Amino acid sequence: MRPLYFFIFAVIISAPKIVFAQITTNTNLYELVDPNQQNVDLLYGKKTQTFKGSPFYIDEWEVGHVTLIDGSSFTNVLIKFNVYSNELWSMKDEKNVIVVNKKEVRSFGWKSENEGELLFEQIKIENKKQYAEVIFKDDKFQLYKIRKKKFNKKDDSTSNSYSEAKDEFAWQKPQLFLVSDGKVKQVSSKEKEFYAIFGDKKSEVHKFAKSNKLKTKNKSDLEEIFAFYRTL
């Protein structure tokens, strides 16, 4: 049993969509607090009125699941993915929020109303571990998407006390990464460049995608494209 270092008291940025009494709490998850993150309120809690957007993948708390490096897992836990700082946040109750220690996490996810099942795994890119969304995964290919947010500062030289300009968290262009034979490489979502990953089957795969109006920027379409490739 790992010692419980501390709980982080935070102002909750957005209210959860569910009733806490309906959640089966896995207390042990809250023992995995990141010792380097002592107060998330200092990061975002007091800034909610001074910037546009948020640092999160989805603003609301989601009922999700977390799997650790050692294989143990937790279900029905309230989580948020902070894409700006690449952190997984978890909430025990309305006053207790932690940043889960990244060294302990293998994957996490939740079911989204708009995007269906979302799963994020920790992979190493350029010697840095990052949480990446799983787009497709089998014994030969693993395709991941990384979406980041950038914090854009307002231009103080052009703003004044009457200006509505604010600092803003804004999405950056998503990146695709392919893991094959133990190697990680970035791939383009542009059609001509993307289909090159299929080698001598690229023409057949491209033809299939074109005839079915599948787009490389859509997750569900990418799943169909890779599923077809596996039949060749």
DSSP string covering 150-204: EEEPP-TTT--TT----EEEEEPPPEEEEEETTEEEEE--SHHHHGGGGGGGHHH
Please write down the long-range contacts of 17-20, taking CB distance under 8 Å and 24 or more positions apart.
17/60, 17/61, 18/61, 18/63, 18/78, 20/93, 20/94
Percentage with pLDDT > 90 across the chain: 46
- The tally of domains found in the chain comes to 1
**Residue 64 maps to a domain:** yes
Residue 94 lies in a domain: yes
To 10 degrees, what angle do helices 202-211 and 219-229 make? Answer: 130
Q: Give a yes or no: residue 201 inside a domain.
A: no
How far is it, in rounded angstroms, from Cα 91 to Cα 75? 13
Q: Is residue 194 part of a domain?
A: no
Domain that holds residue 13: 8-134
pLDDT in tens, 4-35: 333 333 334 344 443 333 444 444 676 776 76
Helix (H) or strand (E) holding 129: strand 128-137
Within a domain: residue 187?
no
The answer to which of 3-7, 92-96, 114-118, 134-138 has the lowest mean pLDDT is 3-7
> What pLDDT is attached to residue 9?
33
DSSP, collapsed to helix, strand or coil, labels residue 167 as strand
Identify the pLDDT of residue 140: 81
- Over the stretch 57-67, which tens digit does the pLDDT of each residue have? 999 999 999 99
Q: Flag whether 151 is in a domain.
A: no
Q: Using CA atoms, how far apart are residues 123 and 146, in angstroms rounded to an integer?
A: 10
Contact 121, 132 (CB under 8 A): yes
Q: Can you give the pLDDT at residue 68?
A: 94
Amino acid in position 223: E
Question: Residue 3: its pLDDT value, please?
Answer: 36
Please determine, for residue 37, whether its predicted confidence score (pLDDT) is greater than 80. Answer: no
Of the two residues 136 and 114, the one the predictor is more confident about is 136
The mean pLDDT value for 23-51 works out to 58
Higher-pLDDT residue of 113, 23:
113
Percent of the chain scoring above 70 in pLDDT = 75
| Residue 120 forms part of a structural domain | yes
Mind listing the pLDDT tens digit for each residue in 180-228? 888 899 998 887 789 998 989 999 999 999 999 999 888 889 889 988 9
| Dist CA 115 CA 128 (whole Å) | 27
What would the two tokens of residue 164 be?
């509505």
Q: What mean pLDDT comes out for the span 54-81?
A: 94
Mean confidence (pLDDT) of the chain: 80
Tell me if 118 is assigned to some domain.
yes
